[in-house]
Chains A and B, each alone.
Chain A
Amino acid sequence: MTTTSAKLLKLALPLIKNHGFTRETLSLSALSLPTPLANPLPDASVTALFGPGDDACRTLVHAWLDDARRRMKEEAIEKMGMGDVLKARLKSNEPVLEHLPEAFALLASSPLLPLPLLPVDPAPIIRHAAQVSNQACWIAHSDSSWYTRRATISAIYLAAELHQLTSPKTAPEFLDSLLENAEHAGKALDETALFASYVWKSWRGIVRSSGVLV
C-alpha cells in the first residue's frame, strides 16, 4: 500500500460513523487532509488507490479492524483481566455498530471463495476473531495452553460480538457469562485430568507391587 493510500485510510476511519464502510467514505477522506482537496476524490481515484467495487470497502473494513486492534494494545492498562480487555474491544465497536453487519457481510462475500459451492467465506471473520483473541491474550498475559486458550477466546469473542449486533446493551453481561462458563469447563477438565492421573499412578503402583514386571 502506498503512503498516500495509507494516510487516506487513516483519515477515513473517523468518517465511518456517519458514512459507513463505503467508497463514499474513502472519497470524503481527501477533505480531511492537512492541505484538504477542494472536492472529494473521484471514483476513479478511489479505484486506483483502493481497488474496484467492494474491494475498496473491504480495504476500509480491514483498516478499521487493524486500528481497533492497535487501540486495544495502546489503551490497555496494567493487570487488565481478559473480560475487561474484550469489553473494551466490544466498546470500540459502538460508534460504528449499525455499519458492522454490512462490514462482516463484505468480508464474507470475498470474490475469491475457497470452494465454488460455498456461498460465503468464513475465513476473514475467523481470522478477525483469532487476531482479537491473540491480542487479548497477550494483553491479559494469558500464558496457559496457547492454542486452546486462543481458540476458546476467539469463539467467545465472536459469539459476544454477534450478540452485540442484535442487543448491544446486554453484550457485556453475555460476554461475562461465556467467560465464566469457559472457566468452569476448564476447571472441570483440569480436575478430570488430575483424577485420571491419580488413577493411572495407583494402577501403575499396583502393577509394580504385584511383581508382574520383575
Chain B
Amino acid sequence: MLVRCRFLVANALRPSTRTITCRASDFYTDPSKNQEPGVSTSPDISPKQREILDRALRVDQAGEIAANWIYRGQFAVLGRDPRVGPLIQEMWDQEKLHLEVMDKLQLQHEVRPTLLSDVAKVAGYALGAATALMGKEAAMACTEAVETVIGEHYDDQLKDFELLPSSHPSIPLLRDVIKEFRDDELEHLDTAVEHHSQRAPAHALLSAVVAGGCKVAIELCKRF
C-alpha cells in the first residue's frame, strides 16, 4: 500500500507530457554551445548561496557516479539476460549522460568533488551486483528504491535553487537540467516497477535498506 502510494507520488512529480524540444542538458553535451555564458561562467553570489550550490553539485555528481556503478554492477550479472539486459543498458546510458553533464557543471562552477567518489564507485558496484545476484526483480527493486530517493532529492534541490538569483543565465539552465534529470530518474523508477520490482523477495526490507543507504550517502557527500 505504502509502495503504491510512493509510486503514485512519484508519477505526480513527473509532468504527464514531455514535449520534444531541446533538452537542457544539450547545452552541456553540444560542443557548439561550449562558449555560451550559461555554460561557461559561474554567477557572482554570496558565500551562503555559493555553499548551497557547491553542496548540491557535489552530491549530484557523487550520486550520478554511484548510479553509473550500480548499473555497471547490475549489467555485469544480468547483462546477458535477453529481457532485462537491454533495459539496464538503456538506463545506464542515460546515467552516463547525466554524469557527463554533472562533470561539466562541477568544472563550470568550480566545485570541489566529493572525497568519497571511490567509495561511491565500490559501494555502487557492490549494490548493483549483489541485488542482481538476488534476481531480476531484486535488481529492479534496487533501481526503484534508488530512483525514488534521487527523484525526491532533485525535487528538494529545486526548492533550494529558488534561493539562487535567476539573473545569471547559468542558474535557470541549472534548474532546467535538474528538472530534466529528475524526470529521467522517475522514468527509470516507472520502468523498474513495470518490470516487477515489487515481486522482489523481501521487497519492503530491501527498498528500506537501499533507500536508507542512499540518504546516508547523500548527507555524507554534501559534507565530504
Binding site for B on A (CB under 8 A): 138, 143, 146-147
Whether the pair B110, A138 counts as a contact (CB closer than 8 A) is yes
On chain A, the residues within 8 Å of B107 by CB distance are: 143
Residue B113 interfacial (CB < 8 Å): yes
A138 to B108, CA, bound (A): 10
Q: Give the residues from 72 to 115 in chain B that come closer than 8 angstroms, CB to CB, to chain A.
A: 107, 110, 112-113, 115
Interface SS, A side: helix
Residue of B nearest to A146 (CB): B113
**Nearest-Cβ distance from residue A70 to partner chain B, whole angstroms:** 13
Whether the pair A146, B112 counts as a contact (CB closer than 8 A) is yes
The 4 A-B residue pairs whose C-beta atoms are closest, nearest first, are A146-B113, A138-B110, A147-B115, A143-B107
Interface SS, B side: loop
A103 to B208, CA, bound (A): 54
Can you list 5 residue pairs at the A/B interface with Cβ under 8 Å? Answer: A138-B110, A143-B107, A146-B112, A146-B113, A147-B115
- Chain B 115-153 interface 0/1 with A at a Cβ cutoff of 8 Å (1 = within): 100000000000000000000000000000000000000
**Nearest-Cβ distance from residue A176 to partner chain B, whole angstroms:** 27
On chain A, the residues within 8 Å of B115 by CB distance are: 147
**Nearest-Cβ distance from residue B121 to partner chain A, whole angstroms:** 14
- Chain B 153-193 interface 0/1 with A at a Cβ cutoff of 8 Å (1 = within): 00000000000000000000000000000000000000000
A189 to B33, CA, bound (A): 36
A89 to B170, CA, bound (A): 30
On chain A, the residues within 8 Å of B112 by CB distance are: 146
**Nearest-Cβ distance from residue A145 to partner chain B, whole angstroms:** 10
Residue of B nearest to A147 (CB): B115
